């Protein structure tokens, strides 16, 4: 029986996720319709419903993949040796992650899932795990011991993530920022943070 004509696809679940990622990247969220996706997978309109409860569930699974990528990216980060330089490196890595697949970032952090849709428990868990890992960076040396007195690491994590997120959104949506500004602006943001945290003053211990 030919590959395309057999009744049971065999690996539709994985195929859907894979093709959805391609479609997302190429056409954006708005261009990702279940019907187009099904057609691309060589299957009827409603076949996907046997593998995902609905479109929301499929998008959640897709976003989950993104968060896993982001998590490994954060695992690779090392602020220990040189906090100031490490911070700058991390910010650049984050923005690169967002720019390399803007539609994936939009899906991960956009309202489609978090506001309009219903985030899966599984997605919520992974997304929070990702943020948890970021918070840990604040609670661990070298940052923890250097924070100005009275500064709550959790609040710092939230505020600094907001900056990262805001930069990404303004850039990706093309409002007030474009790719040309990016390096200068992100450096500016990092400088502000470094200055605010007094990180630059005692890198070698003081």
Partner DNA sequence: TGGGTATCTTGACAGTGTCAAGACAGTATC
Partner DNA sequence: GATACTGTCTTGACACTGTCAAGATACCCA
Which residue of 10, 28, 129, 141 would you call a contact of its own copies, by CB under 8 A?
Answer: 28
At residue 64's C-alpha, the angle toward residues 161 and 123, to 5°, is 80
| Nearest residue to 148 via CA among 203, 196, 188 | 196
34 contact choice in its own copies, DNA, none (CB below 5 to 8 Å, kind-dependent): DNA
Which residue of 4, 6, 30, 72 would you call a contact of its own copies, by CB under 8 A?
Answer: 30
CA atoms within 13 A on the CB side of 99: 17
- Report phi then psi at 21, rounded to 5: -60, -40
* Stretch 134-173: interaction string toward its own copies, x if CB under 8 A: --------------x--xx--xx-xxxxxxxxxx-xx-xx
CA atoms of 66 and 49, how far apart (whole Å) = 22
Q: Tell me the site size for DNA, rule CB under 7 A.
A: 23
- Report phi then psi at 136, rounded to 5: -60, -35
C-alpha pair distances (Å), 193 with each of 41, 96, 200: 47, 19, 10
Task: Give whichever of 21 and 123 is closer to its own copies, judged by the CB atom.
Answer: 123
- Report phi then psi at 195, rounded to 5: -65, -45
Question: Which residue reads 């990404």 in tokens?
Answer: 168
Q: Please, what sign has the CA dihedral across residues 192, 196, 202, 204? A: negative
* Stretch 184-203: interaction string toward DNA, x if CB under 7 A: --------------------
| Shortest spacing between CB 108 and its own copies, in angstroms | 9
152 contact choice in DNA, its own copies, none (CB below 5 to 8 Å, kind-dependent): its own copies
Chain residues in the site for its own copies (CB under 8 A): 28, 30, 106, 109-111, 114-116, 127-128, 131, 148, 151-152, 155-156, 158-167, 169-170, 172-177, 181, 184-189, 191-198
Chain residues in the site for DNA (CB under 7 A): 6-10, 12, 32-36, 38, 43-47, 49-51, 54-56
């Amino acid at each position: 029986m030919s590959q395309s004509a057999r009744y049971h696809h065999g690996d539709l679940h994985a195929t859907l996720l894979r093709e959805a990622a391609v479609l997302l990247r190429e056409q954006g969220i708005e261009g990702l319709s279940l019907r187009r996706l099904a057609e691309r997978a060589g299957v009827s309109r409603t076949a996907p419903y046997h593998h995902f409860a609905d479109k929301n569930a499929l998008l959640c699974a897709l976003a989950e993949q993104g968060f896993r990528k982001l998590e490994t990216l954060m695992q690779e980060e090392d602020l220990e040796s040189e906090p100031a330089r490490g911070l700058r490196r991390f910010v650049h890595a984050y923005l690169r992650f967002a720019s390399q697949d803007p539609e994936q970032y939009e899906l991960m952090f956009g309202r489609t899932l978090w506001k309009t849709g219903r985030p899966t428990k599984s997605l919520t868990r992974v997304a929070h795990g990702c943020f948890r890992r970021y918070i840990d960076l604040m609670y661990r040396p070298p940052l923890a011991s250097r924070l100005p007195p009275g500064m709550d690491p959790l609040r710092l994590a939230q505020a600094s993530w907001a900056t990262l997120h805001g930069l990404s959104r303004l850039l990706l949506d093309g409002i007030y920022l474009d790719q040309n500004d990016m390096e200068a602006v992100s450096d500016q943001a990092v400088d502000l943070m470094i200055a605010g945290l007094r990180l630059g003053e005692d890198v070698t211990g003081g």
